[in-house]
């Protein structure tokens, strides 16, 4: 039987002309998966994680650091006009502006982030510059945009004709637009020497309130990496992830002995116990630990993640809590 939420989202996606990830064939995850010792492991959210993982892997093969790799991976999604939830082609806010959020963490525990930035196609690379070139962790809005321009990032129109049409269609239907979607890319990677980094980038919920920022650029919410323990990333309804500091929680649970699957599941249990849920709410977590074990888990059926490990890059259907 088709689940109602999946059906509603599929219909919405079809009417908006954007792709949602759950039609792609995948295998069911049996639990936390392990990689051969000493080989790179890359895990990322949704089906657009497949090309992102590949780019991250190629970056490692050509001598890049794990930080270079995670950045290179998610830049693929940011530049893809067919992904309605990240970078170029992302659905706009209720006023028709595409605003982007991103963050990055390196193995030393350093972090950079940008939020509500406009007209810059690669917010992940701006987040990296914030980390490397400023004494700060996060820049937002106009300040982030000015910094990006100073660093040589071109200003570009990110609203594709398809995303504009989707927004106009929604506007014609209702005055107060409701936010939709949940396909952020979060990517966590480990190189062959065991160093871990992560990146997360999104256009946030489509048709969101102007000025709204979700979990994705918040260190500890959308992404967290601790090189002694592992890394985690989130996708879905950002407010739920922010209220429980989800990615940090997953990493802390792993620090205290949980495997990646148990940690993701427990972080979702925390949401279920602490945050009032409505039928539209979805959250998916991915996690990778220091031994190269990986897992994904979600609140409701429909979340898939991409895993590049032992030389194979494949999609896995995450188990769900509800
Ligand atoms: N987590 C993102 C946000 O709330 C949405 C998503 O995953 O697409 O902005």
160-177 pLDDT, tens digit each: 999 999 999 999 988 788
State both tokens at 134. 């400023």
Give how far the C-alpha of residue 261 lies from the chain's centroid of Cα atoms, to the nearest Å. 18
Q: Is 181 in the pocket of ligand 1 (CB under 6 A)?
A: yes
Residue with tokens 């990110």: 158
Q: Is 40 in the pocket of ligand 1 (CB under 6 A)?
A: no
Task: Single out the catalytic residue among 45, 99, 184, 244.
Answer: 184
Q: What is the pLDDT of residue 48?
A: 97
Q: Is 216 in the pocket of ligand 1 (CB under 6 A)?
A: yes
User: For the chain, how big is the Rg over CA atoms in Å?
Assistant: 18
pLDDT band at 31 (very low <50, low <70, confident <90, very high): low
* All domains of the chain in start order, with CATH: 4-15+34-317 (3.60.20.30)
pTM: 0.90
Q: Is 294 a catalytic residue?
A: no
Q: State phi, psi for 283 to the nearest 5 degrees.
A: -140, 140
Give how far the C-alpha of residue 166 lies from the chain's centroid of Cα atoms, to the nearest Å. 22
Q: Is 183 in the pocket of ligand 1 (CB under 6 A)?
A: yes
Q: What is the pLDDT of residue 70?
A: 98
Q: Please tell me the distance from the alpha carbon of residue 49 to that of residue 43, in angstroms, as a whole number.
A: 8
Ligand 1 atom with the shortest distance to the CA of 237 = 4
126-139 pLDDT, tens digit each: 999 999 999 999 99
pLDDT band at 65 (very low <50, low <70, confident <90, very high): very high
Q: Whose CA is nearest to atom 6 of ligand 1?
A: 182
Asked whether 46 and 186 are in contact (CB, 8 A), the reply is no
Low-confidence winner among 105-114, 118-127, 164-173 (lowest mean pLDDT): 164-173
- The sheet with strand 111-118 has its strands ordered as 27-28, 312-317, 304-309, 41-45, 185-190, 196-202, 99-105, 111-118, 138-140
Rounded to the nearest angstrom, the distance between the alpha carbon of 24 and the centre of ligand 1 is 20
Q: Is 215 in the pocket of ligand 1 (CB under 6 A)?
A: yes
Q: Whose CA is nearest to atom 9 of ligand 1?
A: 204
Residue 105 has pLDDT above 50, yes or no: yes
279-302 pLDDT, tens digit each: 889 999 999 999 999 999 999 999
Mean pLDDT within 182-206: 96
Residue 28 has pLDDT above 70, yes or no: no
């Amino acid at each position: 039987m088709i689940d109602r939420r999946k059906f509603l989202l599929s219909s919405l996606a079809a009417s908006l002309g954007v792709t949602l990830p759950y039609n792609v064939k995948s295998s069911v995850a049996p639990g936390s998966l392990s990689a051969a010792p000493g080989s790179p492991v890359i895990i990322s959210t949704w089906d657009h994680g497949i090309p992102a993982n590949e780019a991250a892997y190629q970056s490692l093969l050509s001598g890049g650091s794990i930080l270079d790799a995670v950045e290179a991976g998610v830049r693929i999604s940011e530049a893809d006009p067919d992904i309605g939830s990240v970078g170029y082609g992302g659905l706009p806010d209720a006023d028709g502006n595409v605003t982007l959020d991103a963050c990055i963490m390196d193995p030393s525990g350093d972090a950079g982030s940008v939020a509500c930035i406009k007209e810059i196609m690669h917010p992940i690379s701006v987040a990296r510059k914030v980390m490397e070139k400023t004494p700060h962790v996060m820049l937002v809005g106009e300040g982030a945009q000015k910094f990006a321009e100073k660093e040589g990032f071109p200003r570009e129109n990110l609203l594709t004709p398809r995303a504009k049409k989707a927004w106009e269609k929604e506007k014609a239907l209702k005055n107060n637009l409701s936010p939709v979607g949940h396909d952020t890319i979060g990517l966590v990677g480990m190189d062959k020497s065991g160093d871990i980094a992560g990146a997360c980038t999104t256009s946030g919920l489509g048709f969101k309130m102007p000025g709204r920022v979700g979990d994705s650029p918040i260190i500890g919410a959308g992404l967290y990496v601790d090189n002694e323990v592992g890394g985690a990333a989130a996708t879905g309804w950002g407010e739920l992830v922010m209220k429980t500091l989800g990615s940090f929680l997953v990493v802390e649970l792993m620090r205290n002995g949980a495997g990646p699957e148990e940690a993701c599941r427990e972080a979702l249990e925390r949401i279920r116990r602490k945050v009032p849920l409505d039928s539209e709410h979805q959250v998916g977590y991915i996690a990778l630990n220091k031994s190269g074990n990986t897992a994904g888990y979600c609140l409701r059926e429909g979340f898939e993640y991409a895993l590049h490990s032992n030389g194979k890059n494949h999609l896995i259907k995450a188990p769900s809590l509800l």
